[in-house]
Amino acid sequence: MTDGNTFLRPKEAAEAARQLTTIADELERKISVSVGRIRAIHGKGAAVWGDDDPGHKFVENYDKGGNGAASKTLEASTRYVDVLTDVGPMVSKAVEGTVDVDQALGDAIKKLTAQPVAPPPEI
């Protein structure tokens, strides 16, 4: 818990968001390669596991016709990466929004408390 105050170090938070984006992009590449390899193996069917009764049974139980743990894991890993790749840009937008709101509030307070400002000169 905080004491009700929020403090933001914009440069550090923006850098953390950039690093998170880089990490997520790298993870996405690695997961994509792995998922591609696994799907290629799945595409070969039972021949990979043996074209005999035990091989067929393995395939039958391994992925239950595309509705088993193997396919669900591939789908989940892809969704996980999709969500993770969105986090860095979301943090960046949040930092920018926080800075913008802080700036706007500061400007409004200055207008309320400062001496009246002369109108700008005509050009």
- Domain membership of residue 17 (yes or no) is yes
Say what the pTM is: 0.66
- Domain membership of residue 38 (yes or no) is yes
Domain that holds residue 19: 10-111
What digits encode the pLDDT tens for the residues 40-71? 887 877 677 788 888 888 877 877 767 778 88
- Domain membership of residue 118 (yes or no) is no
- Domain membership of residue 116 (yes or no) is no
- Domain membership of residue 5 (yes or no) is no
Mean pLDDT value across residues 89-99: 91
- Domain membership of residue 2 (yes or no) is no
DSSP 22-33: HHHHHHHHHHHH
Closest CA to 91 of 26, 25, 12, 30: 12
How many separate domains does the chain show? Answer: 1
- Domain membership of residue 121 (yes or no) is no
42 contacts 74 by C-beta, under 8 angstroms: no
